């Protein structure tokens, strides 16, 4: 440690001075005439909100059916909003060409002309000629 005790003491005093100035600035900001009034209004609004919530909860306890119907309606509204948004995204993806087709009709091997040959191959694979009982389909 190369710092002398005098240098360290000067650094500590400088830090104290900066801290005192910062605290004085903060105190000056909070001593404005509007701050206590703002806190009082905040407290009153919090009390009013608390009273409103208590009144609402009492109404729900007395009549739970309307509250449940309102909650169910709100839930359906949210569900419908999400479903509609998902449907819009899906339609945008389809029109943009990024979605995979839901059917495989466009594949060349599923062309009607090739279907008979594929069915014959499937039957041959299911019932090979080496089985004791074999089936051979002829046209």
Q: What is the pLDDT of residue 74?
A: 94
In whole angstroms, give the CA distance from residue 33 to residue 65: 49
Place of tokens 């919530």: 53
- Rounded to the nearest 10 degrees, how much is the dihedral formed by the CA atoms of 113, 118, 120, 123? -150
pLDDT tens digits, 3-53: 788 888 888 899 999 988 888 888 777 766 666 667 677 777 878 888 888
The model carries a pTM of: 0.34
pLDDT tens digits, 59-87: 888 888 988 999 999 999 999 999 999 98
pLDDT tens digits, 77-132: 999 999 999 988 888 877 776 555 556 767 777 777 777 788 878 877 776 666 66
pLDDT at residue 57 tops 80: yes
């Amino acid at each position: 440690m190369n710092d002398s005790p005098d240098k360290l003491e000067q650094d500590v005093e400088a830090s104290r001075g900066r801290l005192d100035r910062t605290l004085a600035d903060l105190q000056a900001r909070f001593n404005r005439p509007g701050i206590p009034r703002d806190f009082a209004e905040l407290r009153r609004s919090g009390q009013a909100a608390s009273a409103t919530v208590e009144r609402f909860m009492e109404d729900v306890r007395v009549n739970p059916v309307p509250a449940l119907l309102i909650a169910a309606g709100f839930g359906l509204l949210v569900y419908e909003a999400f479903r509609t948004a998902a449907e819009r995204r899906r339609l945008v993806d389809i029109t943009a060409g990024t979605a995979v087709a839901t059917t495989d009709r466009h594949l060349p091997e599923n062309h009607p002309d090739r279907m008979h040959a594929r069915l014959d191959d499937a039957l041959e694979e299911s019932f090979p000629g080496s089985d004791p009982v074999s089936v051979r389909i002829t046209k």
